[in-house]
Structure 1
Amino acid sequence: MKRANLIFICADQMRYDALSVTGNRVAHTRNIDRIAAGGATFHRHYTPNQICSPSRATMATGLYPRHHGLWRNGVALDERLPNLWHALSLAGYATKGVGKLHFQPLLAPAERDMPESLAYWERPGSGDWHGPYFGFDSVDLVMGEANESIRAGHYAAWLKQNHPEVMDLYEPDASPDSWALDLNEVWKSAVPPQLHYTSWIADRAIDFIDHQSKQAEPFGLFVSFPDPHHPFAPPRPYCNLFPPERMPEPTIRAGELERMPAYLGEGDDPKKVPYIASGEQPREQGFLLRTDDISDETLATAIAHTHGMIQMIDDAVGRLLAALDGAGVLDDTYVLFTADHGELLGDHGLLRKGPPPYRQLLQVPLVLSGPGIRAGTSLDALTSHLDLFATIASLLGLPAPVTDGTDLKPLIDGRIAGVRDFLFAEYHPRRDASLYNQSVISKEWRFTRYPNQPAWGELFDLREDPWEHWNLFPEPALSAQARALNTVLDQRLPPQPLIVNEVLGAY
């Protein structure tokens, strides 16, 4: 009997509450909601790291960053480590990766010969390479977001060869409307939507579905959209679907940042490009911004554009589901949708992501449908990206991998109500060692410590303050609670500020 297929869909920088199915009153994500309605929605799903590459490596390997070695952007994942895609390939699956993978540094030097580096794509004939790569038989890469996407990768090569006139349309000065002066990454893209990378990714994935559904072997497909990661620059009509003046205002409690570790008093420059050029002085990961100097209008536009990017992804997901249906394999395919990490989007007076492990960054959407999963399943258990490899292997009948996670199939089947009492997260900084932090999360509390800066700490009562706006760490009356959770961290995730893996690039 032929095994079920898998489509693993990943968005970049999409927080848990970005979808209609997870309570967003502005979104109209009917296609992602359709996956949820036909299967399971995980309402307390977290990543153990709020930065792109570490989180993506965890999704693939089921390991904490301290164990898979990709502890920060700018470090490469070891191709010899077992991962989900290797496991599928070994089990006879045809495997394909389309879009943003981010397993290697963008700024790795040319001599490392890394396909996800800019230097690799400066070589003649680089566009002829399509894999194999990290267990994928073949890949079609998109590297970077918005105007960064035209610098390297298969999409950039395709665009240059077939639609060279579109290259310049990715730049903000081609925008049909004004470019926000107080946040230089907010504009309306002039790129035709059918030639945008979100559409190109869907096109390549659909080509694979149409071909592979006729073959004898099952398939595993990773579809990874670079959006809604900043810059906030969707094309028409998506940039105009959500009026900025109707966007919900970010949630900020007066004085909340004054109770947080002192580094949150600083931030990146909103007028500076949120990337690091080769040779540039390092800036902290995530390019965290305070919104004090950003106008309400610009911030509302960034939020509206984020919803527009999510809507474009949802439309692409609808096309993928239609392709599965049209090929007659929808009922034989597990469809998973998630994100690598979240986005602050103005909450707490902050934008983008960075060292603080706020819920807006660590909690992400997860919906999963497929054979044997009861429609409308709603799960409130604490789950993690650590669990995805083991769970997918279990659903597909593959050998159980050795991971830091847990097989969630008994939870999905309703045989158990929970899989853990605590989730753990860990952030390794790029620039300032004092920002290294570790978190433990239960259904009631989130506690964070900074081992290199013991005076700093974060403690949130998630029952009274679910979106973490009032740090209780300074309260003497709760010191016993902080000590108890600190002990849990000591026992389960002892401090490991230094990870042995070579830094090859800043991003």
Structure 2
Amino acid sequence: MKRANFIFICADQLRYDALSATGNRVAHTSNIDRIGARGATFHGHLTPNQICSPSRATMATGLYPRHHGLWRNGVALDERLPNLWQALSRAGYVTMGVGKLHFQPLLAAAEREMPESLAYWAKPGSERWRGPYFGFDAVELVMGEANESTRAGHYAAWLRRNHPEVVDLYEPEASPASRAEDLKEVWKSAVPPELHYTSWIADRAVDFIKHQSNRPEPFGLFVSFPDPHHPFAPPRPYCDLFRPERMPRPTIRAGELERMPAYLAEGDDPKKDPYIASGEQPREQGFLLRTDDISAQTLAIAIAHTHGMVQMIDDAVGRLLEALAGTGVLEDTYVLFTSDHGELLGDHGLLRKGPPPYRQLLQVPLVLCGPGIRPGTSLGALTSHIDLFATVASLLGLPAPATDGIDLKPLIEGRATAVRDFLFAEYHPRRDACLYNQSVITKDWRFTRYPNEPAWGELFDLSRDPWEHWNLFSESEFSSQAHRLNSILDQGLPPQPLIPNEVLGAY
């Protein structure tokens, strides 16, 4: 009997509450919602790291970053580590990855021969390479977001070969409207939507589905959209779908940042590009911004543009579901949608992401449908990206190595209501060792410590303050709670500020 197919859809920097199915009153994500309606929606799903590469490596390996070694952006994942896509390939699946993978650093040196580096794509003939790569039989790469996507990768090569006139339309100078002066990365893209990388990714994924649906082998497909990661620059009509004045305002509690570790008094420069050029002085991962110097109007446009990017992804997801239905394989395919991490989007007076492990960054959407999953299943248990490898392997009947995660199949099937009492998260900084932090999250609490700066800490009562606006760490009446949670970290995640894996680039 032919095994079920599997499609893993990933967005970049999409927070849990970005979907209409997870309570967003502005969004119209009918296609992503449809996945959950056909199967299960997870309401307590977290990533163990709020930065792209570490989280993506966790999704592939089922390991915490300290165990898979990709502890920060700029480090490469070891191809010898077992991962989900290798397991699928070895079980006879035809595997393909389309879009942003981010298993290797963009600024790795040319002699490293890393296909996800800019240097690799400077070589003549590089566009002919298609894999194999990390268990994928073939890949079609998009590298970077917005105007960065035209520098390297299969999409950039395709665009320059077939539509060279569109390359410059990605630049903010080509915007059909004026660019925000107080936040450099907000503009309306002039790129035709059908030639935008989100559409290109959907085109490649649909072609793969149609080609593989009638073949005897099952298929595994990773579809990874670079958006809604900043810059906030969707093309028309998506940049105009949501009116800025109607966007929900960020949630900020007066005085909340004064109760947080002192580094949050500073932030990145909103007038600088949120990237690091080769040779530039390192800036902290995530390019965290305080919104003090950004006008309410500009921030509202950034939020509206984020919703526009999400809507464009939702339309692309609809195309994938239509392709599955049109080829007759929808009922025989598991479809999973999630994100690597979230986005602050003005909450707490902060933008983008960075060292603080706020809920807006760690909690991400997860919806999953497929054979045997009861439609409309709603799950509130604590689950994590570390669980995805074990769970997918179990659903597909594949052997899998031991991971840091738990097989969620009993939870999905209703044979369990919970799988754990707590989860860990860990952030390794790029620039300042003081920012290294570790967290333990339960249903009711989040505790974070800074081993290299013991005076800093974070404690949030999630039952009363679910989106973490009032740090209780310095209040003596909660010291016993902090001590209890600190002991859990001591036992399960002792401090390990140094990870033995070479830094190859900044990004």
If the length of structure 1 is used for normalisation, what is the TM-score? 1.00
Corresponding residue of 2:477: 477
Code of the aligned partner of 1:433? A
Query: Does the CA-based 8 Å contact 1:268-1:288 persist in structure 2?
Result: yes
Which residue in 1 is equivalent to 2:307? 307
Provide the residue aligned with 1:43 in structure 2.
43
> Match for 1:231: what amino acid?
P
**8 Å Cα contact 2:187-2:233 kept in structure 1:** yes
Tell me the residue number matched to 1:332. 332
Residue in structure 2 matched with residue 129 of structure 1 by the alignment? 129
Report what 1:343 is aligned to. 343
Give, in angstroms, the shift of residue 401 of structure 1: 2.3
User: Is the CA contact 1:83–1:389 (under 8 Å) kept in the aligned structure 2?
Assistant: yes
Superposition deviation, residue 28 in structure 1 = 0.1
Query: 1:68-147 residue pairs with structure 2 within 5 A?
Result: 68-147=68-147
Cα distance between partner residues in 1 of 2:476 and 2:64 = 32
What's 1:461 paired with? 461
User: Residue by residue, what CA displacement relative to the aligned partner does 1:244-294 show, whole Å, maximum 9, x if unpaired?
Assistant: 000000000000000000000000000000000000000000000000000
Deviation at 1:400, TM superposition (A): 3.2
Q: How does 1:76-475 map to 2 (within 5 A)?
A: 76-475=76-475
Q: Deviations over 1:397-453 (max 9, x none)?
A: 001321000000000000011000001000000000000000000001000000000
Cα distance in 1 for residues equivalent to 2:420 and 2:478: 24
Q: Which amino acid aligns with 1:17?
A: D
Query: What do residues 343-372 of structure 1 show as CA deviations (whole Å, max 9, x unaligned)?
Result: 000000000000000000000000000000
How far apart are the structure 2 equivalents of 1:255 and 1:194? 45
- Which amino acid counterpart does residue 151 of structure 1 have in structure 2? R
Q: Distance in 2 between matches of 1:39 and 1:265?
A: 43
Alpha-carbon offset, residue 199 of structure 1 = 0.1
Code of the residue aligned with 1:388 in structure 2: it is L
Distance 1:262 1:164 in 2: 47
Q: Secondary structure at the match of 2:225?
A: strand
Contact map agreement 1:145 1:230 (CA 8 A) in 2: yes
Instruction: Specify every segment of 5 or more residues in structure 1 that has no aligned partner in the other structure, as ranges.
Output: none
Deviations 1:371-400 (Å, cap 9, x if unpaired)? Answer: 000000000000000000000000000013
Alpha-carbon distance between aligned partners in 1 of 2:383 and 2:161, rounded to the nearest angstrom:
44
Q: Deviations over 1:154-189 (max 9, x none)?
A: 000000000000000000000000000000000000
CA distance in 1, matches of 2:106, 2:443: 37
Verify the 8 A CA contact 2:382 2:419 in the aligned structure 1.
yes
For 2:296 and 2:478, the matched residues in 1 are separated by 36
Note if contact 1:389-1:401 (Cα within 8 Å) is conserved in structure 2. no
Matched, 1:2 2:2: yes
* 1:456 positional shift: 0.2
**AA at the equivalent of 1:487:** S
SS at match of 2:231: coil
> What whole-Å deviation, never above 9, does each CA across 1:73-122 have from its counterpart, x for those lacking one?
00000000000000000000000000000000000000000000000000
User: Separation in 2 of the partners of 1:461 and 1:423?
Assistant: 15
**Deviation digits for residues 447-475 of structure 1 (CA, Å, limit 9, x no counterpart):** 00000000000000001100000000010
SS in 2 for 1:227: coil
Q: Is 1:506 equivalent to 2:503 in the alignment?
A: no
Runs of 4+ residues deviating >4 angstroms: none
Amino acid of the structure 1 residue aligned with 2:156: A
**Shift in Å at residue 214 of structure 1?**
1.5
Q: Distance in 1 between matches of 2:28 and 2:112?
A: 43
Q: In 1, Cα distance between the equivalents of 2:65 and 2:430?
A: 14
What are the Cα deviations for residues 169-222 of structure 1, in whole angstroms up to 9, with x where unaligned? 000000000000000000000000000000000000000000011210000000
Contact 1:149 1:156 in 2 (8 A): yes
Q: Aligned partners of 1:274, 1:375: CA distance in 2, in Å?
A: 41
Report the Cα distance in structure 1 between the residues aligned to 2:214 and 2:187, rounded to whole angstroms: 42
Tell me if structure 2 keeps the 8 A contact 1:393–1:401: no
Contact 1:424 1:439 in 2 (8 A): yes
Aligned residues: 507
Determine the C-alpha separation between the residues in 1 that align with 2:414 and 2:448: 32
AA of the residue aligned to 1:163: H
Q: Distance in 1 between matches of 2:383 and 2:302?
A: 30
Residues 87 and 400 of structure 2 are in contact (CA less than 8 Å); yes or no, is this contact kept in structure 1?
no
Identity of aligned residues (%): 85
Distance in structure 1 (CA, Å) of the matches to 2:20 and 2:464: 24
Q: What is aligned with 2:30?
A: 30
CA distance in 1, matches of 2:123, 2:182: 37
CA–CA separation in structure 2 for the residues paired with 1:284 and 1:369:
37
Per-residue Cα deviation, 1:297-324 (whole angstroms, up to 9, x for no partner): 0000000000000000000000000000
CA contact (8 A) 1:384 1:405 kept: yes
How many angstroms apart in 2 are the aligned matches of 1:33 and 1:16?
A: 12
Which residue identity is paired with 1:12? D
Q: Distance in 2 between matches of 1:64 and 1:109?
A: 26
> Which SS does the other structure have where 1:6 is aligned?
strand
RMSD between superposed Cα atoms in Å? 0.3
What CA distance in whole angstroms lies between the structure 2 residues aligned with 1:178 and 1:243? 16
